[in-house]
Amino acid sequence: MSAVKLENIVKKFGDFTAVHPMSLDLPEGSFVTFLGPSGCGKTTTLRMIAGLLDPTDGGIYVGDRQINDVPIHKRNLGIVFQNYALFPHKTVADNVAFGLKHRNVPKEERERRVREALELVQLPHLANSYPKQLSGGQQQRIALARAIVVEPDVLLLDEPLSALDANLREDMRVELKRIQEQIGITTIFVTHDQSEALAMSDILVVMSNGRVEQVGDPKDIYTNPQSRFVADFLGTSNILEATVAEENGVAGVKTDAVGFVPLSSAQMDKLVGAANSYLVMRAEKIELLAADAPADDRLTFTGKVEAVDYQGQLVRYFVEVNGEKFQVLNMLGTDGAMKEGQTVSVRFKSEDCVAVGEDA
């Protein structure tokens, strides 16, 4: 049975449509991420599921129950907001117990469940502390404990990691995924951070301008984007205007910068009926070598390094190839980074390229 089902839900604010007709079927126990830029409709969708906003049209189901008209306190959902919303005058234990008190859970059971929730987030020793005594990461985990202690049907997370610094954010996403897998709760997570989405999700929902662009396994979406937006938003891509072509009986596309690139029938099928065609080349799938490096079986072009962005083990290069600007992500070689102004050999495999077709 589905944990959450959205049937053609729509949200309008006056004449503005924040969420266009949207349907999703989310399985039990899955970690689902709504990913997209600010204003794409992801938080609005989450707030409709939570009961904080009423949909203009469509149905929202948790399990087999439609919840459109069910008030927020009767939906049995756990919610963690971006600012955690902890009560500053209550202890950690009282914060976690808040939802249980409103459900009239007996004191003995309430204390047991609070204790188990704090153990789950590995903070039982802070039960008598107050929020102002906690770090940002600790506050985030207490907010999570408060959300799961009521044993909700679904856990809703609205950018809960965005207030943390980069290192703590990475640690917390591992911790959050561990907890979700341990308790097996269906989780809907909202973020604009692609690395979080790719690392944590079972199902990824990419949104843009109030519409769902693509839904699926994160790896599949990354390696096979279905629109120019998805290709551009996820990862670092070089997107070239292309035309459908054929050489020596082999189908592919032709671009100004790299000429003809053969593609599989599955990739070519994506261009059928499309007004515009594009060739997508992921930055990490292109390799830079010395200009005099021995030939191999890859497509090879001469380029010039225009800028070097050192990122530790990785180096991002901006390279000009036949008038086109490319971004290339390579591991730092034993001889160090390529130099600005250096002529290089630019190489890639046609099977690492993706076709994208879009209407005009």
The kind and range of the H/E element at 86 are none
Instruction: Report whether pLDDT(277) > 70.
Output: yes
CA dihedral (279, 283, 289, 290) in degrees, to 10, reads 90
- What would the pLDDT profile of 65-106 be if each residue is shown by its tens digit? 999 999 998 999 999 988 878 999 999 999 999 999 988 899
Percent of the chain surpassing pLDDT 90 = 86
> For the chain, what are the domain ranges?
2-223, 233-278+353-358, 283-351
How many Å apart are CA 320 and CA 329, to the nearest integer? 14
Is pLDDT larger for residue 104 or for residue 164?
104
> Looking at domain 283-351, which of 2.30.30.30, 3.30.870.10, 2.40.50.100, 3.90.1010.10 is its CATH number?
2.40.50.100
Q: Could you tell me which of 259, 283, 78, 37 has the C-alpha nearest to residue 185?
A: 78
> How high does pLDDT run on average in the chain?
94
Q: Could you tell me which of 181, 194, 348 has the C-alpha nearest to residue 263?
A: 348
- What would the pLDDT profile of 5-25 be if each residue is shown by its tens digit? 999 999 999 999 999 999 999
Name the CATH superfamily housing domain 2-223.
Answer: P-loop containing nucleotide triphosphate hydrolases (3.40.50.300)
How many Å apart are CA 105 and CA 355, to the nearest integer? 56
pLDDT at 172: 85
User: Which residues have a Cβ under 8 Å from the Cβ of 210 and sit 6 or more positions away?
Assistant: 17, 18, 19, 20, 40, 41, 44
pLDDT tier, 360 (very low <50, low <70, confident <90, very high otherwise): low
Whether the predicted model's global pTM rises above the 0.85 cut = yes
CB 350 within 8 A of CB 262: yes
- SS3 helix, strand, coil % of the chain, rounded to 5? 30, 40, 35
